[in-house]
Amino acid sequence: MRHGRNRFIVSFLAAPVAIYLIFVIWPYVQAIGLSMTDWSGLTPTQDFTGFANYIRLAHDPVFWLSLWHNVILLIVLPLITLTLGLFFAFMINVGGRKRKNQTVAGVRGSKLYQVVYFFPQVLSITVIAVLWGAIYNPNNGALNSGLRAIGIPSTISWLSDPKLALGCVIAVMVWWQVGFYVVLFSAGMSAIPDEIYEAVLLDGANRFTTFFKITFPLIWDTIQTGWVYLGIIAMDGFAIVQIMTNGPGGPDGATTVVPFYLWDSAFNHGQAGYGISMGVAMLIVTLLFAVLTLRFSRRERIEF
């Protein structure tokens, strides 16, 4: 009987596992092999060069600068996005005043706020990059025009100033992502029984205490997942940099990230093998980030 059950399970898993191995794992294996060649990406010929690309990578200042920009994104993007997402979700679900027959409620108009916050997720990243590129335009962009409208003379070149350009990219990525986490955290908070909040409120707890003693611990698993997902997004950033920034990747490499440098090396300079080695390096860094995040953010599960 057990043998028959195992065959039944294998018959269902064989096709999905085979597809996964062929279309996911095998391309990774091929990429590792190609990263050890001098393939230009334009010709079928490729000579094995061993670890030459990785040695070059270790001494490439542009790569390390690009990686540093990704690290900044990795730290700042999840921190700001998750903080805003938690704050907005808490106010939408728990932060309102008591109403008739409702001890726990969100602020008035909470359903509308959810739609407004989630709206950027409906737009493609290309539309977002073009839209914000126009907003940051120093001459007739909405940002400088708005500052001038309130009496602040402004001709700031947001995307042309090396000190501001990366911050502008991060701001756009936060605006793009925060709505998704508002909805995600709202779903987590709505699963918390109202009786828990009612008991805490009867004890005289304020919003600050309610959030840090009740809400935050009970949705910790959701926050942990969000941190990993945002970290993976932070290790990318290619589309926004390629479409929105000057150069692109400028000014003076101020917004260059590793995926953009990979694309530039492989497709603009005919160094596909070298570009693929960057991809393999990013794969290792991303996997390490995910493993370390899940390892050090692990805590005892709270049941409710």
Q: What would be the CATH architecture of the domain defined by 54-296?
A: Orthogonal Bundle (1.10)
Q: Are 197 and 104 in contact (CB under 8 A)?
A: yes
Residue percentage of the chain with pLDDT more than 70: 92
Q: By CB neighbour count within 10 A (0-12 exposed, 13-18 middle, 19+ buried), where does 61 fall?
A: exposed
Reported as a single tens digit per residue, the pLDDT across 174-187 is 999 999 999 899 88
**Nearest by Cα to 82 from 251, 234, 239, 287:** 234
Which pLDDT belongs to residue 274?
A: 94
Confidence of residue 205 (pLDDT cuts 50, 70, 90): confident
Q: Beta partners for 37? A: 48
Q: In the predicted model, what is the mean pLDDT of residues 40-45?
A: 85
Q: What is the pLDDT of residue 192?
A: 81
Q: Is the distance from CB of 66 to CB of 237 less than 8 angstroms? A: no
Which pTM was predicted?
Answer: 0.87
Report the pLDDT averaged over residues 259-263. Answer: 94
Q: What is the mean pLDDT of residues 160-180?
A: 93
Residue 147: predicted pLDDT: 87
pLDDT higher than 70, residue 100? no
Q: Which SS3 state, helix, strand or coil, does residue 102 take? A: strand
Of how many residues is the chain composed?
Answer: 304
What single-letter amino acid sits at 89?
A
Q: Give residue-wise pLDDT tens across range 4-34.
A: 677 777 778 888 889 999 998 999 999 999 9
Query: What is the reported pLDDT for 117?
Result: 87
pLDDT of residue 301 exceeding 70: no
